[in-house]
Amino acid sequence: MIKLSHITSYLTCPRLAYYRLKFGEDSFTEKHAVKEIYRCLRMSLGIDWAKEKAKALNKFFCEETFNRALANFKLAKELDKFKPIDWDVVYNSEKLGVSLTVDEIVEFCNETLPLFVALNAPKSGVWFQDAVKAGVVAVVAKFEKSIIYYSYSGEIRVVETDFGMKRKSLKLIERLRMIEKGFLPERRESEYCRFCRFFEDCKRTPETFASKFL
């Protein structure tokens, strides 16, 4: 099944999504850390619990990464207006071949909405990858609106999914499905290559004509 993290990996580099689909995820990032910190603070379980949980759930847990995320994390007072309904809710679509996890389901002004926890906020609106998350949850679970919580500045932003974003999200899912079948996408060299654990293999693997279409 394609996961939301494969789709966001594709936005970083299509070939990275190929490798992650094939070999799995292998890291503990600040994003992983803030999700646990957010959830445990919202549930009044405290930071020690968040750290122990992150350690237990991720074999790549890194104390330094967790502490860096914690130092930047802010829990906004305004979040009190969003009533927690559930956490880590999984939505699957057999037809689309997609499985996604929503960080929190909240109730706000009599509406039930999915909430995703992110790091730094853009100047206005939301980052494209967050709009894509909202697009995917719209096509898979029929939520027309999502909340993005930018935890490093404590900002809450709402994103409404229009027809254009649903179409873009479906196009991304289509590409990921082709990659899942074994099509290798072209390389997209960037700063990220310096940290990519697939660098050596990627350098050795030539592009094919089909790569251009992914």
Residues that bind ligand SF4 (CB under 6 A): 13, 15-16, 19, 187-189, 192-193, 196, 198-199, 202
At closest approach, how far in Å is the CB of 22 from ligand SF4? 11
At closest approach, how far in Å is the CB of 141 from ligand SF4? 30
Q: Give CA–CA dist 27/37, Å, rounded.
A: 17
DSSP sequence for 101-160: EEEEEEEETTEEEEEEEESSPPSSS--HHHHHHHHHHHHHH--SEEEEEETTTTEEEEEE
At closest approach, how far in Å is the CB of 132 from ligand SF4? 18
Pick between residue 3 and residue 15 the one whose CB is nearest to ligand SF4: 15
Pick between residue 78 and residue 199 the one whose CB is nearest to ligand SF4: 199
At closest approach, how far in Å is the CB of 206 from ligand SF4? 12
Pick between residue 170 and residue 196 the one whose CB is nearest to ligand SF4: 196
Tell how far CA 93 is from the center of its chain: 17
Pick between residue 60 and residue 192 the one whose CB is nearest to ligand SF4: 192
Pick between residue 15 and residue 51 the one whose CB is nearest to ligand SF4: 15
- The Cβ of residue 92 has, within 10 Å, a number of other Cβ atoms equal to 13
At closest approach, how far in Å is the CB of 203 from ligand SF4? 7
Tell how far CA 178 is from the center of its chain: 20
Strand bridging mode 98-108 / 83-93: antiparallel
